[in-house]
């Protein structure tokens, strides 16, 4: 039986909040706009970049939103090229991924990152070869639209009953729920436990070891 575990990236696999907050603050400042509160920025991690900017500043017109979006991209890219980007894996995640892979799970990522950003992140941690499907905001509508998850199912050759979505935000849970895929929330990311449960999480775990157990319970 094909078992597919689809992971969000920021807030689930890696902790990139410091760089996201820095780049968003810099983007708004460069555009001559007030910088958003860091807590507000944390709330939108997981959305595609244009959707995140619209959520943070719905009063902006299309042109201003586009400018902020491009400033964010260029700032984040420059930080990566300068070697200043810090996106550490959460404790136990590398071992969990390798263990799942060895046990025959198919692994995928569905993220609001760009193709370039996700590829760089996974390569940095030496885990890119563990995944059979990488879905990003470059090729899909923003979460909670299910397009990324549907593409991961197709590329892995799995059906909905054989898949689990793992994420840290309500966007991930709602995406999974919309097409009948089981969802597990992680408590170390950007949305709280009660919000994850209300959005469709079957459970919310606090460690990588607990996530491994929850995956086995969900799909033995």
Beta bridge partner(s), residue 46: none
d(CA 151, CA 134): 9
For every residue of 65-132, DSSP letters joined together read HHHHHHHHHHHHHHHHHTT----PBPTTHHHHHHHHHHTT-EEEEE-SS-HHHHHHHHHHTT-GGG-S
Catalytic residue selected from 8, 15, 19, 168:
8
* Residues 27 and 36: beta-carbon distance below 8 Å: no
115 is catalytic: no
Catalytic residue selected from 10, 15, 168, 172:
10
d(CA 30, CA 23): 10
Mapping DSSP to helix (H, G, I), strand (E, B) and coil, where does residue 159 land? Answer: coil
10 is catalytic: yes
The residues annotated with a catalytic role in the active site are 8, 10
């Amino acid at each position: 039986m094909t078992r597919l575990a689809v992971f969000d990236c920021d807030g689930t696999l890696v902790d990139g909040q410091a760089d996201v907050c820095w780049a968003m603050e810099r983007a708004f400042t460069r555009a001559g706009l007030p910088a958003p509160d860091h807590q507000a920025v944390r709330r939108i991690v997981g959305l595609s970049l244009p959707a995140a900017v619209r959520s943070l500043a719905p009063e902006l017109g299309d042109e201003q939103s586009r400018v902020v979006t491009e400033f964010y991209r260029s700032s984040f890219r420059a930080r990566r090229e300068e070697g200043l980007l810090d996106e550490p894996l959460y404790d136990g995640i590398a071992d969990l991924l390798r263990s799942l892979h060895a046990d025959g799970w198919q692994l995928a990522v569905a993220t609001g990152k760009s193709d370039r950003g996700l590829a760089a992140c996974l390569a940095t941690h030496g885990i890119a070869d563990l995944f059979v499907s990488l879905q990003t905001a470059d090729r899909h509508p923003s979460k909670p639209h299910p397009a990324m998850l549907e593409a991961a199912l197709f590329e892995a050759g799995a059906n909905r009953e054989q898949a689990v979505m793992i994420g840290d935000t309500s966007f991930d849970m709602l995406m999974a729920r919309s097409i009948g895929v089981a969802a597990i929330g992680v408590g170390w990311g950007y949305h709280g436990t009660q919000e994850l449960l209300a959005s469709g999480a079957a459970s919310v775990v606090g460690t990588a070891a607990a996530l491994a157990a929850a995956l086995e319970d969900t799909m033995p």
